[in-house]
Amino acid sequence: MQDVLSITYYWLKAGHIIFVIFWMAGLFMLPRFFVYHQEAAKDSIEAAAWVDRERKLLKIILLPSIIAVWALGIALAVTIGAWDQGWLHAKLLLVLILSGYHGYLSAYAKKLARGERPIEGKKLRMLNEVPGVAVALIVILVVIKPF
């Protein structure tokens, strides 16, 4: 039985890391897409192309990735019995924040698709830093396990 759990753990871990990479790539790309979208003239063919690109990124990469990250992450926590460990609670908080950020970006894509442009490009460029800071903290928590 221990061999099965050991093998399962490594497959869950590999899958989790793979989908985290996909999710982070999408979270880095989407705000950049928004910057380019906002630089395009409203109601132009280029703006319509950005709407399509943003929709595809959200539906084809980001949505499946966030689902897989959560499912595999919960399975990993169950497999190793990590629910009572402080580092996992901190990691979950950061992943919840990233999930909220993902939701915010998704809502912003819908606003852009309607022709609304409530945030200027400079602020969108700054938003691009959120996943980088969060993932750095998450990696430190998982590798170092400070508490």
Binding-site sequence positions: 16, 91
In contact, 8 and 79? CB cutoff 8 Å: yes
Residues within the annotated binding site for heme? 16, 91
Select from 22, 49, 21, 18 the least CA-distant residue to 112: 49
Name the CA dihedral angle for 49, 114, 130, 14, rounded to a multiple of 10 degrees.
-60
Strand runs (DSSP E) across 35-114, as ranges? Answer: none
